[in-house]
Amino acid sequence: MEALSAGDPQRVGNYWLAGRLGSGGQGVVYDAYDADGNRVAVKVLHAADDRAVRDRFAKETTATRRVSSFCTARVLAADLDGHRPYLVSEYVPGPSLGAAVRDGRRFTGDDLYRLATAVATALTAIHDAGVVHRDLKPDNVLLGPDGPRVIDFGIARTPDMSLTATGEVSGTPAYMAPEVFLGERAGAPADVFAWGSIMVFAATGREPFAADNLGAVMHRVLTHRADLSALSSRLASLVEAALTKDPAARPDARDLLLALVSGSDADTERLLAAGSRTARGVHGPAAQGDPALGTIAEDAYESLNPEEREVAAEVFLRLVAVGEDGHEAGRSAGYDELFEGRPERESAAVRRVLDAFSYVIVSGDDTVALSRPGLLRAWPRLRMWVDADRDGLAMLNSVNAAARHWAANGRRDADLLQGSRLEQALSWAATGRRRVTLTPFEQDFLRAGTHLTRRRVRRRTLTTVALAGLLVVSLVAGGLAVWQRQETARQRDILAAKQAAAEADRQRTIDPSLAMLLSVAAWRMSPAQPEARSSLTASLQQQQTAVFHDPPVKGVARRLLSRDGRTLVSASEGGVNVYDVRTGRRTASWPRMTLSGTIAYPPALSRSGRLLAQTTTEKLGVWDVKTGRKLLERPLPARNWFSYSAVFGEHETTLTLLYSLHDVHYLLDVSTGEQFGKPVFRQRGGKAVRHPLVDRTGKRLLLPGDRLDRIALPGWRTERPFPACAERPKAVAFSHDGRTLACAGADVALVDASSGRALGGTIACRVCGSDGQLRFSQDGRHLAAFRGRDVQVWDLRTRNTVLDHRAEGDLTDVAFDPDGNTLRYVMDDAVVSLDLRPRTHATAVPGVAFLSGDGRRAAIVAGRQLRILDMGTGKETARLPVATEGGPLIADFSGTKLAVKEVSGKVTLWDLRTRARLWSVPMPGKGGMPINTRFSPDGRRLAITVAYRQSRVFKEVVLDAADGHVLNSFDTASRGGPFLPGGTAYVSPDSGRFIDVGTGKPVGAGLLPTDALAISRGGLLAAYESTTGRVGLWNVDGPAALRPALPRAAGEVDFLSFSPDGKTLATVSSEGLLQLWDVEARRRLGGSYLVREGQPWSLVFSADGAAVHVGVEGAVRSVAVDGERVAREVCARVGRSLSPAEWERYLGGAPYRNICP
């Protein structure tokens, strides 16, 4: 990989660049890392100003995104409209096929066959998407860790894309098809020709039509037959057909893949999956792939001694700048910043750090900088350092730049920091630094600013005393000096809190209980720190409660859970181990499987967990789990490159044996040894079987996949599947009592297992699809669907989602605990326990809840009455005879007054204390219907937006709240929104303009249209920007945008609400995802809360700001925001406090305290 060039950017979009992977006529491909540290490849267009080139790039991107990710590099993102159009795809570590062969590797036998299958799989996926690659060659085949991947669609095109303006031939001559040299357009047959040429090159190391010049190459391609003597007869026949001079006579890619994989017809998706599995046997030497930057950096860090490691953090933080948008970037640091004022021992440590990290740091005559900005996201340790000091890095850069300007211009007083800027700088220098020491030069600058302030103030005011104190602290090496005991303790606690918060977030999937306690400790030590608040909130949201790790074993272990989720079975060549995952105790073990062959698939457990079945490439064995006694052993016939897997269903002793995870081989009653059944792949029209299921009686076999078959046993009679399940054939599961059957496709249906009668409506499923699986809880209350990294759980009584979780890796098994509150999944060597209980508190209401702005009351439509609920006590305080239309209530509260739209179209004002109707006003004009009502902040005016049928013009009506008479009305093209704090204008979400309620005219500059907005009492406005998915912040004076905006919100935000003090913002999406934000720090507090009842209808904070409430159908969901309440809830979940030993390990610099009294 090449280093970045001088003109290369540090970052493209949200991707930090690390080096150049290659460049061509159209663009440059960079090695890059996303915000989470995932490695990607980013292709950036050269001629961004050329509209024709942009259009071609856009078409290429569209074409590439159509291609399924079977043996190809998946497209992850694209931005075609920005200054630098770019395309993001998977990074495939490993050498190219061309490089491997040039280095001496030759592909023979099974290795070559798997390579042929891999490239044919990729071509099938490409052509199936209607795309032609046009430059398939060995350098565009990467030998990744999971098999070969075809890359570089730089000149790929679809049939509707025209030739280039010059009509030039694109591609690599040695792999071009004859028809291309004859002036014909390169179609899919040209890719097949290139496939054949690649196979010859891989086997021999020579291009099949190699010659000294282009003319000779053309001649050989057009007239010569390639030498195929190095290929096996089976593969040679396919390659010979692919190299046929007549494109019409060549097989297509799908035919090649069929011949290579199975020789029988199959649906394309299953065919591609089978090809991908075969391809996994081909690997590139690990040493030839570029290791990830994070790995390189961590290896360098591990080579340092403790003193050098301490210095490393400061060195790297000096090389980081944080911009106004909140993103970090690399910066150049002068040698004076790194060396000046240090003793020789520390300077030697700095030099050692620079030397150890020479791959990612470049040193010039006077400066040091990151040579690979991607390190900022690629190295988790650096991400942690930056996140912990993010707020102060901008201040550090500002102080350093200002100090240099001051020195370069003669150290003038006018260039010194003064007033609030000086105070902020000194405050940061005294209390905000963790790993950065001020240089003597920067100390002189701050000292000069403080002295100037003293000279300008005749009397020794409190301000100058405070500045002097901050100066003393800021100038002491290490940043923490004693100028006052309380201040010293506060600084210590800030540092410890940030460290504890960072450690808590790291421990969430390692030791969830410890993570929760560390977050409480962080908040107790420094409640105002955004990191501590965020970590504490994340602990309340945290669903992980425990993690059990399977101890290391000999070879590769295959793992699964028992039906009750309490037992883990781990099978490997070293033997079988059985664990109680709740206690970590090993309950059974026996050495070696005593089966010849290699374990390829996980074992299977019977319904009771008593029987264990395991297959190898040669044998099937069944054991008694408790005793380890082998009950049965059967030989398995050799079948090409694929193997067998065993599956137990709901019947205790009936085992289904699958071939290659797609076809039934036979069924076996392990109690009697009786074998029955037969393969079904051809009978099913080439549609693969996924996760077959025998019912509890042993009389029915369900075969899901792209179609669902129902077979009576043991006679093997095909029966018609239930209609609801025939439409949802991907996955099936029986409830534990066998009475209910769940079937999944794009959604999930529940049916009576005996009659097939549908049980209620369907359930929307995000994770269902190919290879998805279903699981019922033992009490039948919950159903889980899982696929890949994702798992969803529903409460079957309400059909509401109770869990929507993404794990860090792929899930191989999922099970419910009988307690009804715990779900466990297997991920790699870990069993993770999740708490299904809601993270929010619910107050049941008989309808849709509309909440008052201060969170004190809720109005609920109940028939022809409006019920008023006191949110403090949960008791009903009034019933009003209000006739509404049902659904969302159009109303607004002001203190004890409630304005509500009635079914007649009138707006009525009620006094909630007396339950009296104060007035009722019809809307002006024929057919006018109110669509929203809003009180002014002082409650004296009520603004109403009125809509009219077949008209796009609204009318805004402003009433006197005292008696309902009209103060003003005017026509408008946009809906009205909330009042500004002064009460003289409101914000229209449709136009983003501020509208004067007295004149109906726009005032001020306005902002962008928005789908949701909120205004704080202090004049801060938050608006959801649907185009970016972020929430922008504005000062209503102007209005003026405040940068940076908040990070991307979860889902499409429907409602926003500020806390009474304006420091916290809540957002809730249409999917019911509730998030909290620290407004001043511009960061999310934790992750998301899931509001289980679905779509929200209102969102408000409580009057004291201690909680936030969401009104939904049938409930008001409440979440604690006050830190003390959150800490108590988290402590209650864990059930203990940090021990002195744990405190000493993670917070040893601070005195022990009981964080959960």
Residues 261-272 have a mean pLDDT of: 54
Residue 911 half-sphere exposure toward CB, CA atoms < 13 A: 8
The answer on pLDDT for 164 being more than 50 is: no
Residues 410-426 have a mean pLDDT of: 80
Distance CA(403)–CA(379), nearest Å, equals 30
**End-to-end Cα separation, the chain, in angstroms:** 56
User: Which helix (H) or strand (E) is 382 found in, with range?
Assistant: helix 380-408
The answer on pLDDT for 469 being more than 60 is: no
pTM of the model: 0.61
Residues 1093-1106 have a mean pLDDT of: 88
- Residue 269 banded pLDDT, cuts 50, 70, 90: low
What pLDDT does 710 receive? Answer: 93
Residue 420 half-sphere exposure toward CB, CA atoms < 13 A: 0
Q: By C-alpha distance, which of 156, 129, 140 is closest to 195?
A: 140
pLDDT per position as a tens digit, 640-679: 556 789 999 999 999 999 987 678 899 999 999 999 999 8
- Residue 160 banded pLDDT, cuts 50, 70, 90: very low
pLDDT per position as a tens digit, 832-884: 999 999 889 988 888 888 999 999 999 988 777 889 999 888 889 999 988 76
Distance CA(434)–CA(1133), nearest Å, equals 31
Residues 116-120 have a mean pLDDT of: 89
Q: Which of 339-353, 724-738, 1005-1019, 1087-1101 has the highest mean pLDDT?
A: 724-738
- Active site (catalytic) residues: 135
Least confident piece of the model among 129-133, 240-244, 780-784, 814-818:
129-133
Query: Both tokens of residue 33?
Result: 């890392």
Domains of the chain with bracketed CATH:
1-91 (3.30.200.20), 92-288 (1.10.510.10), 293-483 (no CATH), 841-1121 (2.130.10.10)
The answer on pLDDT for 399 being more than 80 is: yes
The answer on pLDDT for 497 being more than 90 is: no
Is residue 479 within 8 A of residue 438, CB to CB? The reply is: yes
What pLDDT does 942 receive? Answer: 96
Q: Is residue 720 packed enough to be buried (19+ CB in 10 Å), middle (13-18) or exposed (0-12)?
A: exposed
Is residue 759 within 8 A of residue 778, CB to CB? The reply is: no
Distance CA(355)–CA(75), nearest Å, equals 37
Residues 247-268 have a mean pLDDT of: 74
What pLDDT does 948 receive? Answer: 92
Where does 138-178 show beta strands of DSSP type E?
A: 141-144, 147-150
What pLDDT does 66 receive? Answer: 62
- Residue 739 banded pLDDT, cuts 50, 70, 90: very high
What pLDDT does 459 receive? Answer: 39
The answer on pLDDT for 433 being more than 60 is: no
pLDDT per position as a tens digit, 740-773: 999 999 899 999 999 999 999 999 998 998 789 9
Q: Which residue has the higher pLDDT, 1144 or 968?
A: 968
The answer on pLDDT for 159 being more than 60 is: no
Distance CA(909)–CA(911), nearest Å, equals 7
Distance CA(52)–CA(84), nearest Å, equals 15
Residues 812-816 have a mean pLDDT of: 95
Residue 750: CB atoms within 10 Å: 24
Distance CA(1048)–CA(836), nearest Å, equals 26
The answer on pLDDT for 471 being more than 60 is: no
pLDDT per position as a tens digit, 20-29: 887 766 678 8
Q: Is residue 290 packed enough to be buried (19+ CB in 10 Å), middle (13-18) or exposed (0-12)?
A: middle
The answer on pLDDT for 259 being more than 70 is: yes
Residue 974 half-sphere exposure toward CB, CA atoms < 13 A: 18
Q: What is the 3-state secondary structure (H, E, C) of 631-669?
A: EEEEECCCCCCCCEEEEECCCCCEEEEEECCCEEEEEEE
Average pLDDT across the chain, whole number: 85
The answer on pLDDT for 473 being more than 50 is: no
pLDDT per position as a tens digit, 957-976: 999 999 999 999 999 999 99
Residues 207-214 have a mean pLDDT of: 86
Q: What is the DSSP string of 1092-1112?
A: TT-S-SEEEE-TTSSEEEEEE
The answer on pLDDT for 600 being more than 80 is: no
Chain-centroid distance, C-alpha 563? 29
Is the Cα torsion angle 1032, 1034, 1038, 1040 positive or negative in sign? negative
What pLDDT does 1095 receive? Answer: 79
Least confident piece of the model among 155-164, 240-249, 726-735:
155-164
